[in-house]
Amino acid sequence: MGKLRFLTAGESHGQALVSIIEGIPSNLEITSDYINHHLARRQVGYGRGGRMKIEKDKVEILSGVRFGKTIGSPITLMIKNKDWENWTDIMSPEGEPTDKREITNPRPGHADLWGGIKYGFQDLRNVLERASARETASRVAVGSVCRKLLEDVGIKIGSYVVSIGGLSLADKIQDIPLEERFERAEQSELRTPIPEEDYRFKEIIDKAKEEGESLGGVFEVFATGVPIGLGSYVQWDRRLDGKIAQAFMGIQAIKGVEIGEGFSVADKLGSQAHDEIFWEEGKGYYHKTNRAGGIEGGMTTGEPIIVRAAMKPIPTLMRKKSLHSVNIRTKQPFDAAKERSDITAVPAAAVVGEAMLSIVLADALLEKFGNDNWEEIKERVEEYRRYTKQF
């Protein structure tokens, strides 16, 4: 990353998840209530599993914030795992190893086997605990801080679910403005922009649950109010669309990412694929279409950024006869191990996507405008907005 960097630490059933963020300027207002609001959004959604009934994520701000404002030093965020009390002997940092809840049957579609081979583990729980999507709670906490920064300069982030299990609303939401899609999604148990059709999704989720199956889907994340010129074309690793794609592909179970019209634009003629440029007094340059999804040449165009991500079905199945696997010690075939699992987590993944887009855009904003004092930076952002309208 550029000016902003962060690390997360912690295991799924360990004592806590911890994040450290460096590069957030001083004088940004942030509260634990604001972060907790977005942590709670990650945990809801029809089709979630038993873990969400146990954990009610709450953040503790341990450093970098004083009296509700950042002080320019690294910010430490901690989310305690309530389930830790049931795992103290299994996940203890010290003492003798135990074979209790040991995993030797790798689950297809998970990191279990390949992580075990890479790091030399005979108990694959060492892999599962860190590779788990539980880690995304940390990223939502980090993303919430970045989101607050973006909101202060008029950049809004939102998301909504487009499809689950092959049932899609893509054709029905085209005429709904982006921010309205988000507002509607916040009223939906499935985070769809058409809450009155939730029952259709619930039916296929209930059926999948009865059959011990899981479901994937597609969600979209957007950002409006983004200034022109974040990112750069001068090096491959400074292109903003590349950074966004990497951030989204780093979310557990995401197998595809598109920006704007993505793959569908490949089937169009050149005259149909690109966004024509217009100019208006007081408004500056703009497009009447947004096929590029707000990014051209690795830089923002001022149009809404639209990112679409495909999430695979969760590999952990609850069928009586699960997916085939092979025991790493005996090499004998076995049904894959089971942990608590969701039927679908697409609504939650959309919230994680919001966090990742917030992190990438905050980094790009700070790279362009500096990262010392937030009050000074906001003035530079506004001055730059005036400049782009007059260019």
Please determine, for residue 27, whether its predicted confidence score (pLDDT) is greater than 90.
yes
Q: What is the pLDDT of residue 374?
A: 97
Query: In this structure, are residues 137 and 352 in contact, taking their beta carbons and an 8 Å threshold?
Result: no
Give the count of beta carbons closer than 10 Å to the beta carbon of residue 138.
Answer: 26
Q: With cut-offs at 50, 70 and 90, classify the pLDDT of residue 54.
A: low
Mean pLDDT, range 370-379, rounded to an integer: 94
Averaged confidence pLDDT in the chain: 93
Q: Which residues pair with 237 in a beta bridge?
A: none
5-390: CATH number: 3.60.150.10
CB 372 within 8 A of CB 26: yes
CA–centroid distance for 217 within its chain: 14
Summarize the confidence of residues 322-329 as an average pLDDT. Answer: 88
Which tens digit of pLDDT belongs to each residue from 159-170?
Answer: 999 999 999 999
Domain ranges in the chain are 5-390
Local structure of 365: helix, strand or coil: helix
For residue range 217-232, list pLDDT tens digits in order: 999 999 999 999 999 9
- The pLDDT, as a whole number, for residue 53 is 55
Instruction: Please answer whether residues 82 and 109 qualify as being in contact, where contact means their C-beta atoms are separated by less than 8 angstroms.
Output: no
Please report which helix (H) or strand (E) contains residue 218, including its range.
strand 217-224
277 pLDDT above the threshold of 90: yes
Which residues make Cβ contacts (< 8 Å) with residue 130, sequence separation at least 6?
A: 11, 12
What average pLDDT score do residues 280-303 get?
96
| Rounded Cα–Cα distance for residues 365 and 386 (Å) | 16
Angle between the N-to-C axes of helices 374-390 and 346-369, in degrees from 0 to 180, rounded to the nearest 10: 80
Is residue 320 predicted with pLDDT exceeding 80? no
311 is written with which tokens?
């999430």
Q: What ranges make up the beta strands (E) of 16-68?
A: 16-22, 59-63, 65-66
Q: How far is CA 222 from the centre of its chain?
A: 12
Residues 115-142 have a mean pLDDT of: 96
CA distance 379 to 227: 13
In this prediction, residue 46 carries a pLDDT of: 86
- Judged by average pLDDT, the poorest of 29-43, 172-186, 308-322 is 308-322
pTM of the model: 0.95
| Cα(106)–Cα(253) distance, integer angstroms | 16
SS3 content of the chain, % helix, strand, coil (to 5): 35, 20, 40
Distance of alpha carbon 249 from alpha carbon 310, whole angstroms:
9
Q: Which helix (H) or strand (E) holds 368?
A: helix 346-369
Q: Which of 282, 206, 245 is nearest to 356 (CA)?
A: 245
DSSP per residue, 260-311: TTGGGGGGS-HHHHS--EEEETTTEEEES--TTTTEETTEE-SSPEEEEEEE
52 pLDDT more than 60: no
Residue 338 has pLDDT above 80, yes or no: no
- Please check the confidence at residue 343 and state whether its pLDDT lies above 60: yes
Q: What is the pLDDT of residues 81-97, one digit of tens each?
A: 998 999 999 999 999 98
50 pLDDT higher than 60: no
- By three-state DSSP, how is residue 66 classified? strand
